[in-house]
């Protein structure tokens, strides 16, 4: 199969698209369950600290595997054929097979988004180790984007996985520079860390979370320190436009909190694919 993917771009891209549809279905689980798992863990730590030796963990198992997926309205257990990406949602007309409660279109949308973005990477980069790494990053970025939108959280297990896997790949793949990746990680983290503390000292408020630092560090591993200004510029411009628009629409003051992770993720994705082209265009325009 690997030989066929290496020699047939159509098969390779189609395979990536189909696999990423399945991954997108799993990402829906991650997006919902991972923040709940984190909050449960925090609560258990608090309970253990308060109760001390009397603490007993009697919470039901809740992770990415258990309990089985069910309809939130009627408790109907989702069967295997009801969990086929996109197809099941269309076949069921976007409703639970038992109680007919509408199923959010967001689920198939995330599956399709994951597949399209991954196939895009495969098309642009071809069949090689760097492309495989970028496809994996795409999966992580999709998960982080929607978790941050929902919960204003960027879980360490996702940001640090992206960072460390990138460093390992850079150490073994000639197309990536380990030096550029290490410096990119450090520069990415320290740049937002500096902005965070400058803003906090000036206003007494926290302007962003530590998850944003870690995400930019992870992106820096993959794009290199040279392209980090592009990521910061793109994400800041889009974030500013969206933030101002939301303040106008919702008539909120400047204390309106918006997640920065989605803009970093989008800017990082585009820079991974087109960093050199963007830099060339920007410098020629300037």
Question: What tens digit of pLDDT does each residue of 180-205 get?
Answer: 999 999 999 999 999 888 888 888 87
Q: Is residue 107 predicted with pLDDT exceeding 70?
A: yes
What tens digit of pLDDT does each residue of 4-25 get? 888 899 999 999 999 999 999 9
In the chain, where the domains are located: 1-127, 129-286
Q: What is the pTM of this model?
A: 0.90
* pLDDT at position 252: 58
Measured CA to CA, the distance from residue 21 to residue 111 in angstroms comes to 5
Measured CA to CA, the distance from residue 235 to residue 261 in angstroms comes to 9
What tens digit of pLDDT does each residue of 219-263 get? 999 999 999 999 999 888 887 777 777 677 766 555 667 888 999
Q: What are phi and psi of 124, to 5 degrees?
A: -75, -40
**Nearest residue to 167 (alpha-carbon basis) of 156, 157, 178:** 178
Query: What length does the chain have?
Result: 286
Measured CA to CA, the distance from residue 261 to residue 145 in angstroms comes to 6
What tens digit of pLDDT does each residue of 130-179 get? 999 999 999 999 999 999 999 999 999 999 999 999 999 999 998 899 99
Question: Distance from first CA to last CA of the chain, Å, rounded?
Answer: 46
Q: Is residue 129 predicted with pLDDT exceeding 60?
A: yes
CA 127 to the chain's CA centroid: 23
Q: Are 31 and 150 in contact (CB under 8 A)?
A: yes
The one-character DSSP state at 175 is T
């Amino acid at each position: 199969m690997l030989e066929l993917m290496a020699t047939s771009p159509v098969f390779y891209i189609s395979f990536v698209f189909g696999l990423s549809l399945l991954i997108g279905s799993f990402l829906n689980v991650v997006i919902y369950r991972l923040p709940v798992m984190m909050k449960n863990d925090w609560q258990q730590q608090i309970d253990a600290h308060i109760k001390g030796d009397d603490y007993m963990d009697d919470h039901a198992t809740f992770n990415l595997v258990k309990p089985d997926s069910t309809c939130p309205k009627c408790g109907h257990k989702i069967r295997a054929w009801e969990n086929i990406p996109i197809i099941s949602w269309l076949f069921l007309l976007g409703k639970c097979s038992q109680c007919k409660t509408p199923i959010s279109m967001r689920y198939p949308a995330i599956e399709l988004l994951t597949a399209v973005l991954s196939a895009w990477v495969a098309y642009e980069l071809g069949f090689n180790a760097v492309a495989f790494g970028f496809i994996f990053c795409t999966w992580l970025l999709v998960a982080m984007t929607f978790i941050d939108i929902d919960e204003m959280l960027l879980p360490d297990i996702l940001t640090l996985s992206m960072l460390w896997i990138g460093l390992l790949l850079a150490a073994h793949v000639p197309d990536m520079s380990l030096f550029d990746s290490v410096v990119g990680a450090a520069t990415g983290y320290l740049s937002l860390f500096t902005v965070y503390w400058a803003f906090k000292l000036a206003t007494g408020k926290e302007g962003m979370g530590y998850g944003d630092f870690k995400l930019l560090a992870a992106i820096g591993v993959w794009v290199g320190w040279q392209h980090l200004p592009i990521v910061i510029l793109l994400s800041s411009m889009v974030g500013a436009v969206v933030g101002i628009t939301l303040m106008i629409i919702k008539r909120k003051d400047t204390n309106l909190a918006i997640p920065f992770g989605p803009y970093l993720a989008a800017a990082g994705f585009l820079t991974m694919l087109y960093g050199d082209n963007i830099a060339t265009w920007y410098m020629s325009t300037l």
